[in-house]
A and B are shown apart, each in its own frame.
Chain A
Amino acid sequence: MTSYPVLDQKDTRSGFGEGLLEIGKADDRVVALCADLTGSLKMDAFAKAFPERFFQVGIAEANMMGMAAGMTIGGKIPYTGTFANFSTGRVYDQIRQSIAYSGKNVKICASHAGLTLGEDGATHQILEDIGLMKMLPGMAVIVPCDFNQTKQATIAVADHEGPVYLRFGRPKWPVFIPVDMPFEIGKAQVLTEGSDVSIFACGHLVWKALQAAAELEKEGISAEVVNVHTIKPLDEEAVLRSVSRTRCAVSCEEHNRYGGLGDSIAQLLARELPTPQEYVAVNDSFGESGTPDQLLAKYGLDTPDVVKAAKKAIARK
């Protein structure tokens, strides 16, 4: 299988910070808004470079979403920054009416998503945000897998006309996507080819999926790992192409099993190509305090869980 050496250990939110600075330099229509989490979101560099285009809005996320919608009127491309929980659940109606229904070109950038937020616990660990956002008509949902890809995605969303939900996380995580690997919104990436099982993953769990594929290979099982960084619009062709060969699927995500990547794939397969599918996702529960590693293990999102799910999917063929 194709190997992906670990290039570094960096948080995906820092990829967002670097990407924001770069797109800010390239396009003066880009403005950024932050609800009192500039350091956490790594937006400091943009704020320092472009103080006139940076808007500190305080702890008032609903107003931030409305202001961002308003700024598109006049041709700006606003990037909002706060934690995933406060970027979605807290402001769902503001996003729904003022941004999505109004067709506004706002980039909702959300850090500290999922369990790997860690010690702050379940109040902050949203596991429902992918579902909330993908249900909104016209909303693109992007969950990049490492620092390099988060930077690429942050730059790419500026050219995507329409609202975007860009989800990333807090902890340092292996950097394994080569900087020159092309990134295109809506185009899934086959990271390693295989013939026995398709493993579809997004975000932090792409790395876990690659680790699992390496484990499976030792046992003579050939797994195909597909990085579905864009959950909406889903790259249906890539999913069907993979599954038509492997004839079973595993979905991996740092999200509730309801409403996330797994459900998007299951819906597609039910419609086009009924296939056994196993979920690696949080089993309809809230999270809790702990380290990222402890939480991923306890909630069934670690490498052994992906291995187990792959074997189960294969057995169901």
Chain B
Amino acid sequence: MKISTARRLAQIFFFSVFLWLVLVASVGTGWTQWRGWPIAWFLQLDPLAAVGTALTTHSLHPGLAWALVTIVLTILFGRVFCGFACPFGAIHQFVGWLGRHVRRPKDKMAANAYRPAQSIKYYLLAAMLGAAALSVGNAFVGALQTGLLDPIPLVHRSFNLVVLPAADLAAGSRFPGGRYATGAALIGGVFLATVLLNLWMPRFYCRFVCPLGALLGLFARRSPWGIGKTGAKCIECGLCDVDCEGACNPMGPIRTSECLMCMNCLDTCPGSKPLAYLPRPSQGGEITDYGVTRRGFLAAAVGGLAVAPLARIGGARTGWSPALIRPPGSVAEEEFLARCIKCCECVRVCPTNVLQPATTEHGWGALWTPALNNRMGTSGCQLNCIACGQACPTGAIRPLTLGEKEGRGDFASAGPVRIGLAGVDRGRCLPWAMERPCIVCQENCPVTPKAIYVSEIVQTVRDGVYEVDSADGANLRLRNARLSPGQYASGDYECKLAGDDRGRAILANTGDTLTVDTASSPPGQVAPGSAAEVQIRLQRPVVDPALCIGCGVCEHECPMNGLRAIRVTADNETRDPGHAILLAPGVAGNRSLSPT
């Protein structure tokens, strides 16, 4: 078997594994569901995720140790990850092949010539790692923005939020209501652009943009094995460039850091086969620099370094967005941004689709990080669910147990994990502001005892003061009344007569007559001309901040369809003690939170 055939089979294999792992990433125990599949495996293999988070947090998150496998293989054998394993690379190579197989060898050789612009990816890497590197004590936490362009999170994000939901939409099979992602146009647009650029130039993204490729290029620079010349006679025909994926000039001197290990040159090299995969150095010479100037590299790194302090000056700490609700188990915001690689695995596995990729509403740094949008999804953050934390490959969302999330067992004294706090907008709430019964929010509050309780009030309705014209048992005829029949018959209205200390339930009404309940207390003599007030009994929702966990079911269910009359903000979220609002946490009114 030719080595390029083996490479193709490896690409098909790894791409299939990738596809399987994103396909099964939905909560469930079936074998086509998450079950125990290592859905974040490719993300854990990603050295840029490991290096980036190591720079920002000064620690290596356990699962990311997989990246060592990639790094060691790269140090020894060159960028075999790019050529054999990278699922994004496989897409690029396939689309590039589709686009170029009609062209003449001369054009293909020209397209695959090395270009100085291939150094751009190293500058991008320098800027990103520079931004990540500036973690100085408590003053600054570095900004991790590798996820914007890191191909592994990028391809996961694209498949999780755009490609698979689009397939779902078309097939209508997996999720009854479909899956939605805010800003899908941007996520999908970036993905499409990177893929379609292969039609113009093969492996465009890998050659010019990919910061992971740049990082692996650093590791591959002096790899003991690689593509090189054996010393056999080379007629310098240039045919090795025809299908060269990396544009690394295999005819020599080869640019070792650019070589993607596609092995195509070994096939197209004619005659006495002067090219081989061999212990290096190559007899044809090697270029081990990256086409990067010292001045340019410093400029990029310093530019990156400035990101964190600039974000700080921009008010990232004091001006935090109260609308930013992070999933349960999230670490405090600064560390969250230092860990999140924007892969959107959490968004994908969220069973209610309430977890959404942020656009820029919470600041540029939060782009494509997970945030709850309670108006979207099927029903807020589900009480009995810890999927997002289990899916997170970098510890931005801690893997909670159900006990910790709900504050049971060992966590009873800590109480449940709060992701925010609901607040009633009394200017929009139907019973508070508009004299109409509702309390849908109270009904749906999943906490026990309910974090939303009701304050009951009886108030006279608009134009509700009448004079009794005549009374006949339960029927009160009103003077000058023009009611619409049944208007007060919903069971929420009462009629308070002069002398009564409380109203009687109205059972029915015609245009001018009320029928009131007389079973509980028979009416006394109602004198014509005496006052009768139509009153409404309203239950008005009130939130107990000691019980509310911020799950957002209330906000999702609120019938004020546009701007909801009850909304969750990040106030009182557990993850940041600085956001606490209560004097004595853990005490709900006069109730203790831990049942005895």
Is the A/B pair a real complex? Answer: no
